[in-house]
Amino acid sequence: MIELEFDRVITHADSVLRGAPEKEEVWLAPGFIDLQINGFGPVDFNSPEARPEEIAGALEAIFATGVSRLFATVITASPQTMLANLRNLAEARERLAHGAAIEGLHVEGPHIAPEDGPRGAHPARWVRPPDFEEYRRWQDAARGAIRLVTLSPEWPEAPRYIERLASEGVAVAIGHTAATPAQIQDAVRAGAGISTHLGNAGHATLPRHRNYLWEQLAEDRLSATFIVDDVHLPDAFLRVALRAKGIERSILITDAVGPRLGEAALEHREDRVVLKGGERLAGSNLRMDRAIATAGRRAGVSVRDAIVMASINPARAGRISGRLRGLQPGERADIVRFRVEEGRLQLLETYLSGERVYSA
């Protein structure tokens, strides 16, 4: 049994999360953190027309999944549209009652592989090389809230660009890439520390030995995010990837989307989201509470380890202060209460800085 006392931060904890509670017991865990949410429910974070009250509604729905902090994600688009999206999210972050749940912004693209496969659902016409002056414009529009940038290191400008972002405290991830092993190593030496949704957004076939998947799996300086639903990764790859990275370098994300992803209309099916009129995956309809349960069902991950992958690990990779040590005095009082029933999480409460933002 864990007993906590808290206001905005945890003031007392009589124990940390140990072992596995009995089935009927209630779990207390750090609030979940999602480093990649493109939208949720009827709301697209990649639309500058998303109204504050709509974003507030999306946050309320996200709290019901146990997520207390997130990186709202902006993907590849025209320079003007990306700036408008960043301004809109920064405004919501600062003005909404629970806007602090938007811990930061994640810019995924536009400096990614231009070819089909690695590019994923990002629009080809807006893919472009890294440009530090463009990053400066993003950060001005975001009011300094950009905390994570995903790019492909295959661009000649990438190593210096990564160095400059890392020097400003921004986490840099490798993703949507067709980079060579040497280019990936250059990116890691420059300061890249994460692989974005590893195993997805790639070519249908690869050289069996030297390729960007093996290079990232083998690189201990890279943590990796995974979309753990029933379609993005086959069981065997998921199990091997988690063994390669270890629990300590593995992170659960949802890559959740709304009805659109920027300029692309989407079709939500029972188990997947695809570009409308096609079969190409475009984000997911995953919830973090379900990702935790699915990690256990498909990869044999314990609930305790899956919680670490959904809370402490993303906090470390995303450099989220006050969330690095779990349920410890001095940490933010971001807390989730739930039961585990028949392999599923039954959410009871979610707290954001000590305030209850969801109750069943």
Task: Report the interhelical angle of 79-95 vs 52-63 (nearest 10°).
Answer: 70
**By percentage, how much of the chain surpasses pLDDT 90?**
93
CA 350 to chain centre: 19
DSSP 8-state symbol, 305: H
Please give the residue range of the domain that contains residue 319: 31-323
Q: Are 352 and 63 in contact (CB under 8 A)?
A: yes
Domain membership flag for residue 290: yes
Residue 146 belongs to domain with CATH number: 3.20.20.140
Predicted TM-score of the model (pTM): 0.96
pLDDT in tens, 34-82: 999 999 999 999 999 999 999 999 999 999 999 999 999 999 999 999 9
pLDDT in tens, 303-318: 999 999 999 999 999 9
| Burial annotation 16-29 (CB, 10 A radius, 16+ → b, else e) | ebeeebeeeeebbb
DSSP 8-state symbol, 64: T
Total number of domains constituting the chain: 1
- pLDDT for the residue numbered 22: 53
The span from the CA of 167 to the CA of 190, in Å, is: 10
Domain membership flag for residue 14: no
The DSSP bridge pattern shows strands 355-359 and 171-174 to be unpaired
Domain membership flag for residue 225: yes
Q: What is the mean pLDDT of residues 11-32?
A: 76
Is the predicted pLDDT of residue 17 greater than 70, yes or no?
Answer: no
- pLDDT for the residue numbered 24: 58
Domain membership flag for residue 343: no
Q: Are 239 and 53 in contact (CB under 8 A)?
A: no
Domain membership flag for residue 347: no
Q: Are 355 and 97 in contact (CB under 8 A)?
A: no
Domain membership flag for residue 354: no
